[in-house]
Amino acid sequence: MRSQTAAAPANVVRFPGPRSAPSQGRDQKGLLDTVYTNGSMVIAADDKDTKLMASRLQVFGFLNVAEVMMDGSVRMLRPSEAAKLALSRPWRLSRPSFDDLPPLAG
């Protein structure tokens, strides 16, 4: 009989320190889960990382991005505007409405 030992493979190097848990607001899946669960989400004006992630998701049609004005009204941003990362105003992220899509021709 051969004894089974739990020896670590020789070609695996472990980096020191604990693994960090994925942040709910810092990864794309977490951002989408938050927006789709709550219906919308407001991003602070100076949160460049989340705005960059949201602008990428807007290009693929997963999110709507709107700029929140001083009076509380919102202005929808085009993907080209969102990609410029305006850091002067907060953004409101929301789920895209699939009701506005034209019917499939067939």
Q: Whole domain around residue 47: which residue ranges?
A: 28-96
- Position 44 scores a pLDDT of 92
* Residue 35 located in a structural domain: yes
- Position 92 scores a pLDDT of 94
pLDDT tens, N- to C-terminus, the chain (106 residues): 555 555 656 776 666 776 666 554 458 888 999 999 998 999 999 999 899 999 999 998 899 999 999 998 999 998 888 877 778 899 999 998 765 656 666 5
If one counts the domains in the chain, the total is 1
HSE (side-chain half, CA atoms, 13 Å) at 24: 5
* Residue 39 located in a structural domain: yes
* Residue 54 located in a structural domain: yes
- Position 12 scores a pLDDT of 66
Extract the runs of DSSP E, i.e. beta strands, from the chain.
Answer: 40-43, 64-68, 74-76, 91-94
Total H helices, total E strands in the chain:
3, 4
Cα–Cα distance measured from residue 93 to residue 36, given in angstroms and rounded to the nearest whole number? 10
Q: What is the pTM of this model?
A: 0.67
* Residue 106 located in a structural domain: no
| CATH number, residue 52 | 3.30.1490
* Residue 83 located in a structural domain: yes
- Position 25 scores a pLDDT of 45
* Residue 17 located in a structural domain: no
- Position 16 scores a pLDDT of 75
- Position 35 scores a pLDDT of 92
